[in-house]
Amino acid sequence: MRNALQPAQSQQTPAAEPESSALGELPEWDLSDLYSGPEDKALTADVARSADLAKAFQERWAGTLAEAAEKTGDDGLGAAIEAYEAIEELMGRIMSFAGLHYYGDTSDEARGKLYGDLASRITDASSHLLFFSLEMNRIDETMMAEAMERDDRLAHYRPWVEDLRKDRPFQLEDRLEQLFLEKSQTAAGAWSRLYDETLTHMRFDAGQGEPLPLEPALNLLMDGDPQVRADAAAGLTGGFRAHIRTFTLITNTLAKDLEISQRWRGFEDIADGRHLANRVEKEVVDALEEAVVNAYPRLSYRYYAMKAKWLGMDRLNHWDRNAPLPTASREIIGWETARQTVLDAYGGFDPRMAEIASDFFDKNWIDAPSRAGKASGAFSHPTVPSAHPYVLLNYQGRPRDVMVLAHELGHGVHQVLAARQGALMADTPLTLAETASVFGEMLTFRSLLDRTSDPAQRKAMLAGKVEDMINTVIRQITFYRFERKVHTARREGELTSDQIGRFWMEVQAESLGPAVQLNEGYEAWWAYVKHFIASPFYVYAYAFGDCLVNSLYAVYQNASDGFADRYLDMLAAGGTKHHSELLAPFGLDASDPAFWTKGLSMLEGLIDELEAADREA
């Protein structure tokens, strides 16, 4: 079942709120392609139907799958999977609507209740399906291989079956699996919701008169006035500290909850469950982490030393990291300009990408305005193959907002193309789910850069891109290392806020280097990173995707005809292929340690270009 509360999320932050008239008319999404609203009779009927179908499925197939593996047609295993997929699709539609409706205003108690009630109903119905994957994995290897040869309907699902069987060593006995499923409503899911609603209701005294929600307060850190940034940082620190015990309790509880699950399932490393879900080997992630850590001095250390000089400072305060350069454009980019910029960049690569992306604008698949209560950040949710993705933004007209739009539309194009694989095989592992989004950003950035001739503006754009890449690669690996410290230490006992804060300061100092001053209060800033709560160890997927795209883009720049076809085929594969199969047509191999060094070299090259421009100035 697709979880509407864990969509593909952007790690980037929009900018400070401008006058709405400068933005133009911002679109709001139309969820009626799922359901017309909470009172839609079709929604009520589908919830009831999903429960009936799940019960009927259990009655028809439980205890018979080994026999079905020896048959074909409507009594064969392929027919069983088709029926299972149809129920998953229906449940996914229900929960996609519930989640998107909730994210439109998480402060609305009625929306929260609807989401909670539907999640409970669907979880109860899902308990009747739980036997299926467990019983599938008890079928003998030889019997399954013979069934694949005999049953064409089963053979269609070969990638899903092979993926499913990778979970075999970590499955529990049926009743325990059912307990884990049902308790999820009052365990991780409930604590994650508490975190979301706490953060949504927080207000920060950021020196702007009225206290601000998190998103606008964070965005003041990109203001051109150093005092505005300092005041915002003080307000953020005060807000995080006021709730730090709540966030510490949530973190302790979720880390322990994950440890219990991992221990019962027999995982050894604290992140093994995430690696398995991502279908990526631990050794590959370790190689990525090592390559990034080794590159700290020549990437983040070097860049922040240059930026401190540009801003006339000996050292940057932690709140100055994302400050604009004095030469950066302050122009507000209207929605129509942003739309055309991204579509032109996509169309310049391949018209098919622009055509798919156009649907998001033309058919109200985007919710762009920043509203009170609306979820912060940005994401593209795939929903279900019979519908289409929806994109959430908090668009405020800065250059980085255009990059966020390009990023999320990359996800959207990927999700549209992969939908042809069906509900069970459309989802892409998180490590590759960031490929299209980061590639879309790169296309848009290069398009904008090619159209800019003013040296000062080019420098500002290059610096902005370097910062985005540092935030995507260096910062996300830093987050991963922080999570590893927290989850490792939690195995020895409950952690205090001071302990968690110390881990945060250690990894930040290590990654940012001597040119960044980590001021008092920064030890509480781990509290606003939602990925730590909703998706433990998700964060390395961003670094994986960025480095992969850097390598992929280098191939594109030197490729002959046919690259776009291979690229779109890769996206359309969804979850049917391992990363090694998907990258092979491009001559890339993520298991080779040199692969990550190659990916980081593009970021290093941009820093070299900035350094050269400094020498020439």
3-state secondary structure 19-49: CHHHHCCCCCCCHHHCCCCCCCHHHHHHHHH
Using CA atoms, how far residue 243 sits from 3, 256, 483, in Å, is 27, 20, 20
- Of the candidates 315, 311, 336, the residue with the CA atom closest to the CA atom of residue 325: 311
The pLDDT value given to residue 328? 77
Report pLDDT digits (tens) over 60-80: 999 999 999 999 999 999 999
Average pLDDT in the 95-112 region?
95
**What's the CA gap between 510 and 293, in Å, rounded?**
9
In this predicted structure, the answer to whether residue 379 has a pLDDT above a threshold of 90 is yes
SS (H, E, C) 267-323: CCCCCHHHHHHHCCCHHHHHHHHHHHHHHCHHHHHHHHHHHHHHCCCCCEEHHHCCC
**What's the CA gap between 343 and 518, in Å, rounded?**
40
Residue 62: CB atoms within 10 A of its CB come to 15
Strands across the sheet containing 8-9: 8-9, 379-381, 390-392, 366-367
The pLDDT value given to residue 369? 95
Report pLDDT digits (tens) over 142-179: 999 999 999 999 999 999 999 999 888 888 788 888 88
278-282, 393-397, 572-576: lowest mean pLDDT where? Answer: 278-282
In this predicted structure, the answer to whether residue 32 has a pLDDT above a threshold of 50 is yes
The pLDDT value given to residue 1? 35
Q: Evaluate the CA torsion angle 426, 427, 428, 434 in order and state its sign.
A: positive
User: Can you give the pTM of this predicted structure?
Assistant: 0.83
The pLDDT value given to residue 36? 97
Which DSSP string do the residues of 396-441 spell out, in sequence order?
-SSHHHHHHHHHHHHHHHHHHHHGGG-TTT-PPPHHHHTHHHHHHH
Q: Which residues pair with 380 in a beta bridge?
A: 8, 391
CB contact at 8 A, 426 and 395: no
**What's the CA gap between 262 and 564, in Å, rounded?**
40
Q: What domains can you pick out in the chain, each with its CATH number?
A: 32-186 (1.20.140.70)
Q: Which backbone phi and psi does 554 adopt, to 5 degrees?
A: -65, -40
**E strand or H helix at 9:** strand 8-9
Greater model confidence, 293 or 592 = 293
CB contact at 8 A, 262 and 491: no
Greater model confidence, 461 or 18 = 461
The tokens of 34 are what?
Answer: 């799922």
The pLDDT value given to residue 19? 57
In this predicted structure, the answer to whether residue 456 has a pLDDT above a threshold of 60 is yes
| 3-state SS class at 247 | helix
CA dihedral 581, 584, 586, 589 (to 10 degrees): 100
In this predicted structure, the answer to whether residue 200 has a pLDDT above a threshold of 70 is yes
Average pLDDT in the 512-518 region?
97
In this predicted structure, the answer to whether residue 14 has a pLDDT above a threshold of 60 is no
Average pLDDT in the 184-194 region?
86
Average pLDDT in the 370-382 region?
90
CB contact at 8 A, 321 and 229: no
Report pLDDT digits (tens) over 424-450: 999 987 778 888 999 999 999 988 888
* Percent of the chain surpassing pLDDT 70: 96
Distance in Å from the first CA to the final CA of the chain: 56
| 3-state SS class at 11 | coil
The pLDDT value given to residue 180? 83
The pLDDT value given to residue 173? 85
379-381 and 8-9 as β-strands: parallel, antiparallel, unpaired? antiparallel
Report pLDDT digits (tens) over 345-362: 999 999 999 999 999 999
85-99, 220-234, 273-287, 491-505: lowest mean pLDDT where? Answer: 273-287
**What's the CA gap between 600 and 12, in Å, rounded?**
19
The pLDDT value given to residue 545? 86
**What's the CA gap between 26 and 364, in Å, rounded?**
10
The pLDDT value given to residue 617? 61
In this predicted structure, the answer to whether residue 105 has a pLDDT above a threshold of 70 is yes
Please provide the average confidence, as pLDDT, over all residues in the chain.
91
Contacts 24+ apart (CB under 8 A), 79-85: 79/153, 80/132, 81/153, 81/154, 81/157, 81/160, 81/161, 81/424, 82/153, 83/57, 84/57, 84/129, 84/132, 84/424, 85/422, 85/423, 85/424
**What's the CA gap between 573 and 418, in Å, rounded?**
6
The pLDDT value given to residue 329? 74
HSE value, Cβ hemisphere, 13 Å, CA-based, for 165: 14
Using CA atoms, how far residue 481 sits from 271, 398, 477, in Å, is 11, 31, 6
In this predicted structure, the answer to whether residue 16 has a pLDDT above a threshold of 60 is no
Average pLDDT in the 19-48 region?
94
CB contact at 8 A, 376 and 415: no
Contacts 24+ apart (CB under 8 A), 265-269: 265/170, 265/171, 265/172, 266/169, 266/170, 267/170
Q: How confident is the model at residue 8 (pLDDT cuts 50, 70, 90)?
A: very low
CB contact at 8 A, 567 and 460: no
